[in-house]
Structure 1
Amino acid sequence: MVDMTLRDGMHAVDHQFTPQQMTDIASALDDAEMDVVEVSHGDGMGGSSINYGFSAASTGEYLDAVAPELTDTQLSVLLLPGIGTVEELDLAAEKGADICRLATHVTEADVSEEHFEYVTDRGLEADGVLMLGHMAPPETVLEQAELMEEYGADAVYIMDSAGAMLPSDVRDRVGLLSDELSIDVGFHAHNNLGLGIGNTLAALDAGASTVDGCLRGLGAGSGNAQIEVLVGVLEKAGYDVGPEFFGVMDAAEEVLMPMLTEDTMPTLDNDSLMLGYAGVYSSFLRHTRRAGERYDVDPRAILTRLGEMEVVGGQEDLITDVASQLADGRDATADDD
């Protein structure tokens, strides 16, 4: 089980966890016998920028804060090719990372070949992550996962980045990969449709061998699967769970919660629900609200059209076009064709 509080949870706090806070959280997770803790900017190493938001400290400072606290718990980092560079990979290896997860869009695994080779050469476990997994049919997801396996991946995760999957979607994708790959399959849930725990259970039932979560469900959108809940649910369901249930509960309640405010706690509000319903990544939300105000268009209508267009990160410039077309009564999806 991988705890993402110090990576995906960074989104919820605008990437402002301090090194000391990371030390405290990592120590509590290690005490709770967490299998893996992931540390990075919310958008991966190299993500601290004007485009993705500046973090409170550098990647090196965060790794220095966390690595000494971990005994049996492994340290993971995330890198998105095109955002992070080999310099970050070198830094992670030097600072004691055990695992590097390389994440691409679900149809763009081919951009990661050299990165897998580099990570493997540095002696780290190299895991692949296929983001926005709902945006490709199971057969395409399998083709992309097979590429990552060919490149040397030790495991491949399906990431439901927009929280848009239903349990049947998860079973179809995870089940196919589990049947066809010779490496481990993992799953990363988001809770925008309220299915973070349910989808994680579906993934495990379909053959996933590892899953992600965050303390108190921190994460982008309405957050990830809440890991202390997940540990308890899996124990009740009869799974052999590594992390210690009471210890993870204590890490959430006694260590993380005093660091949070009402604004940083993930909630399943209308905005998050629409992101999951439309299947649109959370980075589109703020820009969509602004465009809706400017053109006097319901932001929900904009997000729905963007989902129909299957937009991905980096296409936020389309938001204004869609809002303008909706204001004029034109069909944005037809114009896009």
Structure 2
Amino acid sequence: MTNSPRVVDMTLRDGMHAVDHQFTPDQMAEIAGALDAADMDVVEVSHGDGMGGSSINYGMAAASTEEYLEAVAPQLSDTELSVLLLPGIGTVEELDMAADHGADICRIATHATEADISQDHFEYVKERGLEANGLLMLSHMATPETLLEQAQLMEEYGADAVYLMDSAGALLPGDVRERVSLLVDGLDIDVGFHAHNNLGLAVGNTLAALDEGAVTVDGCLRGLGAGSGNTQMEVLVGALDRAGYDVSPDLYGTMDAAEEVLLPMLDDDTMPELDNDSLMLGYAGVYSSFLRHARREGKRYGVDPRDILVELGEMEVVGGQEDLITDVAERLAEEQGNAVEADD
């Protein structure tokens, strides 16, 4: 267990989901400057779905990744700059651009069971001289043993660290402990953890991960992010300080960045909230992108959208399989209709 965890702020990347990817370069620069003043270890910048994510499919950002990096990089002194790349979305050209604009770290994210698609990406990131971190998304969908196997592949490809991402906010503290401890014991590189708050457990799960040997953790100012958001950064810094960790980010500075810089940029619709919708995403274990479609098909077929989400979770669907929502809604409608007829 480390007493000095590395703290990564995701407000300018994962937080982009909450604002429909509409932070402007000037806003990013202002937020990044406040985070640097608060001695944040790392700031990550890109579209919410990583470099190349600005599209009709994933949502158009207010500016290009290059424009964001040009705005943010000059604001950072000791704080490192990270970018995200998802294989199949980001490109070599974008990796080159990020490296040329001062990125220190590239985080490469795959589904929890698809690390084998990332080898070329890790090798190229290392060739460009950047730190390479691997992210295993939707880690609740794989057994601890499978996650270790996937993490070992990333280590073999050149990863400097591997993160477990609780992308749906579905893990319980015991789940986190089991997964993180296995990776810590089975890898020769650092282990990180990224939490979402759909079950209200983001800070608790992050502390559990650190207890088991994770050395780097993520959060967003005001808890911005998809669903009910990420680990709330200013709360996390306070909790880590109270728990006796020696963290670089200054509590007051982080609080001020959230309250005085970020908050005036937001409206009520963008503030994360642990409501019934977010709860169901965590309970069912599915991406937030499924919620709107489940509501629509539930209304169309006369089915409770919560039932649709639970069914999708049991099917272990991933992003890109939203077309299955209609099939599930239609089948549930038929089953419930048959049940009503049987009762009659």
Task: Please tell me the TM-score bracket, short chain as reference.
Answer: over 0.9
**Stretch moving more, 209-218 or 285-294:** 285-294
Out of 209, 213, 217, the residue aligned to residue 215 of structure 2 is 209
> Are positions 1:14 and 2:20 aligned together?
yes
Out of 187, 193, 197, the residue aligned to residue 191 of structure 1 is 197
CA deviation vs aligned residue, 1:82-125 (integer Å, no higher than 9, x gap): 11111111110011100000000000000000000000000100
> Are positions 1:134 and 2:140 aligned together?
yes
Q: Please report how far the alpha carbon of residue 180 of structure 1 lies from its aligned counterpart in structure 2 after TM superposition.
A: 1.1
State the alpha-carbon separation in 1 of the partners of residues 68 and 300 from structure 2.
39
**1:68 partner letter:** P
**2:36 partner letter:** D
**1:220 partner letter:** A
Higher relative contact order (CA 8 A, sep 6+): 2
Could you say which residue in structure 1 is the equivalent of 2:71? 65
State the alpha-carbon separation in 1 of the partners of residues 136 and 224 from structure 2.
20
> Are positions 1:145 and 2:154 aligned together?
no
Could you say which residue in structure 2 is the equivalent of 1:287? 293
Could you say which residue in structure 1 is the equivalent of 2:329? 323
SS of equivalent residue, structure 2 residue 335: coil
State the alpha-carbon separation in 2 of the partners of residues 84 and 320 from structure 1.
29
Could you say which residue in structure 2 is the equivalent of 1:263? 269
Could you say which residue in structure 1 is the equivalent of 2:112? 106
CA deviation vs aligned residue, 1:115-169 (integer Å, no higher than 9, x gap): 0000000010000000000000100000000000000000000000000000000
State the alpha-carbon separation in 2 of the partners of residues 176 and 4 from structure 1.
26
The 4+ residue runs of structure 1 with deviation greater than 6 A are: none
Could you say which residue in structure 2 is the equivalent of 1:123? 129
**2:71 partner letter:** A
1:16-95 pair list within 5 angstroms: 16-95=22-101
SS of equivalent residue, structure 1 residue 329: helix
TM-score using structure 2 length: 0.95
State the alpha-carbon separation in 2 of the partners of residues 169 and 103 from structure 1.
21
**1:56 partner letter:** A
State the alpha-carbon separation in 2 of the partners of residues 242 and 147 from structure 1.
31
Q: Please report how far the alpha carbon of residue 77 of structure 1 lies from its aligned counterpart in structure 2 after TM superposition.
A: 0.2
TM-score using structure 1 length: 0.97
State the alpha-carbon separation in 2 of the partners of residues 291 and 276 from structure 1.
20
SS of equivalent residue, structure 1 residue 223: coil
Q: Please report how far the alpha carbon of residue 286 of structure 1 lies from its aligned counterpart in structure 2 after TM superposition.
A: 1.0
SS of equivalent residue, structure 1 residue 328: helix
CA deviation vs aligned residue, 1:203-225 (integer Å, no higher than 9, x gap): 00010000000000000110000
- Unmatched 5+ stretches in structure 2: 1-6, 339-344
Q: Please report how far the alpha carbon of residue 2 of structure 1 lies from its aligned counterpart in structure 2 after TM superposition.
A: 0.2
Out of 178, 191, 200, the residue aligned to residue 172 of structure 1 is 178
Could you say which residue in structure 2 is the equivalent of 1:220? 226
Report the count of equivalent residues.
331
State the alpha-carbon separation in 2 of the partners of residues 293 and 124 from structure 1.
48
**1:23 partner letter:** A
Q: CA RMSD in A?
A: 0.8
SS of equivalent residue, structure 1 residue 20: helix
